A and B are shown apart, each in its own frame.
Chain A
Amino acid sequence: MAQPSLTMFEKIWRRHVVVDRPDGYTLLYIDRHLMHDGSAGSFARLRARGLSLRRPDRSFATPDHYVATGGRGLGAIEDSHHRGIVAAMADNHARYGFTVFDIGDERQGIAHVVGPEQGITQPGLTLVCGDSHTSTHGALGALAFGIGSSEVVHVMATQSLWQRKPKAMRIAVEGNLGFGVTAKDVILAIIARIGAGGAIGHVVEYAGSAIRSLSIEGRLTLCNMSIEAGGRAGMVAPDDTTFAYLHGRAFAPKGAAWDKALAYWRNVPSDEGAVFDKEVTLDAAAIAPMVTWGTSPEDAVPITARIPDPNSAPDALKREGMERALAYMGLQPGTPLEDVQVDRVFIGSCTNSRIEDLRSAAAVVRGRKAVVPSWAVAGSGVVKRQAEAEGLDLIFREAGFEWREPGCSMCVGMNGDTGKPGQRIASTSNRNFVGRQGQGVRTHLVSPAMAAAAAVTGRFTDVRKLASA
Chain B
Amino acid sequence: MEAFTSLTAIAVPVDLPNVDTDQIIPARFLGRAREEQAPAMFHDMRRAPDGNLRPDFPLNQAGFAGAGIIVAGRNFACGSSRENAVTVMVDNGFRAFIAPSFGDIFFNNCFQNGALPIMLPEARVAELRSELHARPGARITVDLAAQTVTGPDGKIDRFEIDSFRKDCLLRGVDSVTLTLSHEGEIAAFEARQKEEVSWL
Contacts and interface: CB of A to CB of B under 8 A. Distances in A.
A73 interface: no
Contacts of B145: none
A317 B174 contact: no
A257 B81 contact: no
A431 B176 CA distance: 32
B32 interface: yes
Contact of A23 (B18, B23, B83, B164): B164
Nearest to A38: B30
Nearest to B20: A433
B22 A131 contact: no
Contacts, number: 174
Contacts of B126: 317
Nearest to A162: B175
A66 B31 contact: yes
B156 interface: no
A148 B81 contact: yes
A148 B49 contact: no
A25 B164 contact: yes
Given A200-B104, A435-B26, A435-B44, A150 B200 contact: no
Contacts of B67: none
B116 to A, nearest CB: 15
Contact of B23 (A197, A414, A433, A440): A433
A260 interface: yes
B189 A413 contact: no
Contact of B186 (A38, A153, A160): A160
Nearest to A42: B83
A201 B78 CA distance: 12
A14 interface: no
Contact of A230 (B16, B44, B78): B78
24 contacts: A23-B162, A25-B164, A66-B31, A81-B31, A131-B81, A148-B83, A148-B106, A151-B109, A154-B179, A157-B180, A158-B180, A162-B178, A196-B75, A197-B18, A200-B102, A200-B104, A201-B104, A230-B78, A230-B104, A317-B17, A324-B16, A421-B49, A433-B20, A439-B49
Interface of A: 15, 18-19, 21, 23-25, 27, 29, 31-32, 38, 49, 51, 58, 66, 79, 81-82, 85, 122, 124-125, 130-132, 146-151, 153-154, 157-160, 162, 164, 166, 196-197, 200-201, 227-228, 230, 232, 253, 257-258, 260-261, 264, 296, 298, 317, 320-321, 324, 412-414, 418, 421, 431, 433-436, 439-440
Those 8 A-B pairs whose CB atoms lie nearest each other, nearest first:
A150-B112, A253-B199, A197-B75, A148-B109, A148-B83, A257-B199, A25-B164, A132-B81
